[in-house]
Structure 1
Amino acid sequence: MQWNEIEQLDSWAEVNPYDVPLDKFDMSRPELYESNVHEKWFARLRKEDPVHFCAESKVGPFWSVTSFQDIKTVDTNHKVFSSEGSIAIGITGETFNPPNFIAMDQPTHDVQRRVVAPGAGPDRLSNLESIIREKACLILDDLPVGETFDWVDKVSIEMTTYMLAILFDFPMEDRHKLTHWSDVTTSVEAVGNFSISAEEREKELMECLAYFQKIWHERAGDTAGFDFVTMLANHPDTKDMIDDPMTFLGNLMLLIVGGNDTTRNSMSGGVLALNDFPEQYELLRNDPELITNMVSEIIRWQTPLPHMRRTATEDFVLNDKTIKKGDQVIMWYASGNRDDAAIENSHEFIIDRPKARQHLSFGFGIHRCMGNRVAELQLRIMWEEIMKRFKFVEVVGEVKRLPSNFVLGITEMPVKVHPW
């Protein structure tokens, strides 16, 4: 196909990346991720132009950083590469984008993160394990053996929604609001998700704010709780956040998405990976002790959030390319996690991979995912309980994915479960 023909296409899902001139590469295009073809595009960039400038796109000009080491360089240099304003590609002042601590620089970032970090810290994990296991058993025991059902709906969403409610001490009867608000938060045109209008998104997020404002006022002055809202409402550094409703909402959006997307999509992505690599599933059946290591490999393989954005605060030379002050810099974690220069046989799903936790999915530096251990714990327990019950979770139909460059989401995955 000639470039003049490709230019006329609405979608690049079926386009060969070697038919597109490098200077026309636009990795913001959501159809590349919905169709799960993004990796072959990244493979060319890593080989030929690992720090790549896209001059024209629907989200404006941006740099794509695609190699493991270059991503790590950007992610750990928060003085030059700022998170202030947005961590997502193309988000501008016209977008409803309440501030939150992951999109802030030091010292504000450190103050706000430090307040809620214990909610996903080691002490909290020891209390959560029995709760997670009990819920996992209830979910798995209720699955319709011998019938086709949607794993995303019956297992992944149900487990992560329940855990979100625990972390927020949120009313269980309304817990599905949390999943809905997570999906609304990431439904932004700039990342390719057009599922709702900008006006409707703002309206629904303001409803989220109102719901949590009521919870805040109920918990202010009560320091006994260990949930996110109680910690924010009663810590000296954040007790006045209620008077800054947009910052409160922004942090709610961050914590809800952080507690939802990584785990939910890895929970589905792991089943799919084991179906795609049946020899690894057989290895797991023969040695369930590999589950802990496999969890890290699942999170690398899925890379639930394929990118994070930074903005250059000064001119900086990266891999012989001069990034200018004010430029939009995108770290493509999904690409770095397939970089053979850093991860041997990165295009293989290997559940006993040495050093499996050395991946990019949680980021590096001061913005490293706060809830990474909670996500790993949920996945480990879920797979321990799956393997007690089922010899095979079989994918039996078309897998549908989210049109988004910010969330590698699996929206539907029909399966059948086969007991031992």
Structure 2
Amino acid sequence: MNPMTQLPDPAATPLEEIDFSDPRMFLEDSWYPYFARLRDEAPVHYQAESPFGPFWSVTRFDDIVAVDTNHQDFSSEPAIVIGDPEEDMPLDMFIAMDPPKHDLQRKAVQSVVAPRNLAEMESLIRSRVAAILDNLPVGDTFNWVDEVSINLTTQMLATLFDFPFEQRSKLTYWSDMATAAPQISGGDADPRERETALLDCLATFTGIWHEREASDSAGFDLITLLQRDPNTSEMADNPVEFLGNLLLLIVGGNDTTRNSATGGVLALNQNPGEYDKLRADPGLIPSMVSEIIRWQTPLAHMRRRATRDLEFRGQKIREGDKVVMWYMSGNRDERSIDNPNAFIIDRKNPRHHISFGFGVHRCMGNRLAEMQLRILWEEIMRRFSLVEVMAEPKRVQSNFVRGYETLPVRVHPL
């Protein structure tokens, strides 16, 4: 990526001259016509050169589902981002593992988002959302990302880990550092700062692990769950695997909800007719939440590796080739979703989207994310007639996280 050059013309440039991994497409939110061309002209497309090496792009909804549900031919190892793992800081995490090891490690923490636990969390989340919204500066312009989206999700993360509440901002920082490496997602993190941050994360949680181990914790947090399960009870002795799974759980519990909480405000402002629908019928909130998650698609892609030579949709994919499933493109595929570029809060089948993935790696916390967003909008509608966007958002530079750094807003009371 050369920051001095302009992005190529999406209509006139030959496909082989377009770098579909260029993070500027996402920073500028200009990716739509590029991926529409791929869906129409080359839905399974080989890019021979990129800063991340050669890779295949899979861009249609049904094709993505076919790859995502076939871990025998398309492995998650060694990484699920477009860039290769860093040699000086390798990380193992269960999202980048295949069964059976993936299943054993995921099972150890899955119960934290079991339906019974979610029901118990609902009142806590609602009280926190209420406190956040009641403290917003009515009449003043402020950054929704910091004051609401990050605030809400970081409090939830601290609860899931039973992390020291007054230090919870570290969780957000570690999450941002984890996904912002130039070599894995085209991000803009300083490599030294990132390494220092991730080692601090490891040291902090290693200390927490040993404290809980010594106290024989009776809690139900993620660290205690890992300690109780025989398949993960010694994970802290393997720093590569421990840090990898910590970052997976931190990012998974942060980015999806955080960026959808911001994206929903932006979508409603860009589609005032839908905001009118919501005011007329707040009962549309559950449907709207699914539409926000589809429209935002908080993680742009997931990567797989071909385990053998195979033919897929007429293309010969070689063993070892990277295969990138572009979720945000699948969510805009006209073949599977009616009028996919429109934001429609009362769609007939709003959960028909690909943002959570499919198969064994389907997002573990999808119901928690939906619940947090539902409660957030229920409480917003009880207080405010309008959350008004005052300026264009500043987006994250990444081809992996579709996120926001700022969204200036002003809230108008009922």
State the TM bucket, normalised to the shorter chain: over 0.9
Structure 2: how far apart are the matches of 1:55 and 1:40?
A: 21
Structure 1: how far apart are the matches of 2:331 and 2:240?
A: 34
Q: In the alignment, what sits opposite 1:356?
A: 350
Is the CA contact (8 Å cut-off) linking 1:223 and 1:234 kept in structure 2? Answer: no
Kindly indicate whether residue 377 of structure 2 is the aligned counterpart of residue 383 of structure 1.
yes
Q: In the alignment, what sits opposite 2:72?
A: 79
In structure 2, what residue type is equivalent to 1:286? A
RMSD: 1.3
Q: In the alignment, what sits opposite 1:288?
A: 282
TM value normalised by structure 1: 0.96
Q: In the alignment, what sits opposite 1:4?
A: none
Is the CA contact (8 Å cut-off) linking 2:269 and 2:388 kept in structure 1? Answer: yes
In structure 2, what residue type is equivalent to 1:293? S
Structure 2: how far apart are the matches of 1:260 and 1:161?
A: 7
2:389 is aligned, of 377, 395, 398, to 395
State the secondary structure of the residue aligned to 1:19: coil
Structure 1: how far apart are the matches of 2:103 and 2:88?
A: 25
**Cα-to-partner distance string for 1:103-142 (whole Å, 9 max, x where unaligned):** 0111110000000001122121011100100000000000
1:97 is aligned, of 87, 90, 111, to 90
Kindly indicate whether residue 250 of structure 2 is the aligned counterpart of residue 250 of structure 1.
no
TM value normalised by structure 2: 0.97
1:412 is aligned, of 401, 406, 409, to 406
Is the CA contact (8 Å cut-off) linking 2:334 and 2:340 kept in structure 1? Answer: yes
1:192 is aligned, of 154, 178, 186, to 186
Q: How does 1:222-301 map to 2 (within 5 A)?
A: 222-301=216-295
Q: In the alignment, what sits opposite 1:306?
A: 300
Aligned length: 412
Q: In the alignment, what sits opposite 1:176?
A: 169
CA distance 1:410–1:78, change in 2 (3 Å): same
- 199-208 vs 167-176, which deviates more? 199-208
Q: In the alignment, what sits opposite 2:110?
A: 117
Q: How does 1:24-173 map to 2 (within 5 A)?
A: 24-94=17-87, 96-173=89-166
Unmatched runs of 5 consecutive residues or more in structure 2 = none
In structure 2, what residue type is equivalent to 1:103? A
State the secondary structure of the residue aligned to 1:329: strand
In structure 1, what residue type is equivalent to 2:403? G
Is the CA contact (8 Å cut-off) linking 1:167 and 1:228 kept in structure 2? Answer: yes
2:326 is aligned, of 329, 332, 335, to 332
The percentage of aligned residue pairs carrying the same residue is: 56
Is the CA contact (8 Å cut-off) linking 1:87 and 1:309 kept in structure 2? Answer: yes
Unmatched runs of 5 consecutive residues or more in structure 1 = 1-6
Is the CA contact (8 Å cut-off) linking 1:397 and 1:415 kept in structure 2? Answer: yes
> Aligned-pair distance for 1:222?
2.6
Structure 1: how far apart are the matches of 2:248 and 2:90?
A: 11
> Aligned-pair distance for 1:243?
1.2
> Aligned-pair distance for 1:95?
5.7
**Cα-to-partner distance string for 1:193-214 (whole Å, 9 max, x where unaligned):** 02222x3312211111111011
Structure 2: how far apart are the matches of 1:123 and 1:92?
A: 37
